[in-house]
Every structure is written in C-alpha cells, then in structure tokens.
Amino acid sequence: MTTAPPLRSASLIHHREHRSSPWFAQLCRWHRNYRTRLQLGNLACEVLRDVGLTEDDRDLEMKKWFWQA
C-alpha cells in the first residue's frame, strides 16, 4: 500500500504567475484568517489579556467564517 505525499500548500507561493494574481491574494487572505483564528483559539486566557482581548472577543472572532474580515 502506498501513501500520497504530504500536501505542500506553500508550494504555490513560489510560482510568480500566482503571486501577482488577485484571486491568489484573496486565497492567501482567507488562509491567513483561517490559520490565525485557529491560533487564537489555542491562546490561554492570560495571553489573551496580555494582548487586550477577552474570551468573549476571542469567541466572536472564532465564530466568523474564513472569508469574513
């Protein structure tokens, strides 16, 4: 049984034709929103307070879809 190679999402970034296109820029923004919201969900309450956020602020942000600013 063979397994597929791991996905390399960052590999598209290295293609010049993709980096300059508006759709790719939008895709990157959506991916950043997704990633940062996941990271926000993993922050401890103390860290949230350090950056000036409450748990309610975090919950509101995490309820947003990736395409929402």
Per-residue pLDDT of the chain (69 residues; tens, 9 = 90+): 555 555 555 555 555 666 678 999 999 999 999 999 999 999 999 999 999 999 999 999 999 999 998
Quote the number of domains for the chain.
1
For the chain, the straight-line distance linking the first and the last C-alpha, in angstroms and rounded, comes to: 43
Domain annotation covers residue 23: no
CB hemisphere CA count around 28 (13 angstroms)? 13
Give residue 46's domain range. 35-63
pTM for the complete prediction?
0.65
Domain annotation covers residue 20: no
pLDDT of residue 58: 96
Give how far Cα 29 sits from Cα of 33, 44, 63, 68, 69, Å: 6, 25, 17, 10, 9
Domain annotation covers residue 45: yes
pLDDT of residue 19: 67
